[in-house]
Amino acid sequence: MIKSELIEKLGEAHPHLFQRDVERVVNTVLEEITSALESGDRVELRGFGAFSVRNRPPRQRLLRLLLTPPPPPPPSPMSLRPRVRMPNSSWRGGSHAASSPRCAAKLPRSL
């Protein structure tokens, strides 16, 4: 039930009251309940329930996760492999690697 529905039902239950008076009564009651809860008091409505404010400690895990920066990503492995092997280079085996038939077939003719 929202406040306007409460005002409407109270107006129907008490037809001798003006609508503005019913609104003023409902607003006053809700303001008193709000101010009592803000000051830390307990509010009890007989036949309906009791209201009080509880002060709880903050959720540490969520707060810690929000305040700490994420860890840096792991370093990616670096590798350097030339597209074409050069003759007489010291890259993996030196000059004898370029003279092998397997490696010589991959070399361009212009070099």
Angle at which helices 19-38 and 3-13 cross, to 10°: 130
Nearest to 11 by CA among 2, 47, 20: 20
For 56-102, the pLDDT digits (tens) are 886 677 777 778 788 888 887 777 776 776 666 555 554 454 455 55
CATH architecture of 3-51: Irregular (4.10)
Residue recorded with tokens 């409505």: 45
pTM over 0.85: no
Taking each continuous run of H as one helix and of E as one strand, the counts in the chain are: 5, 2
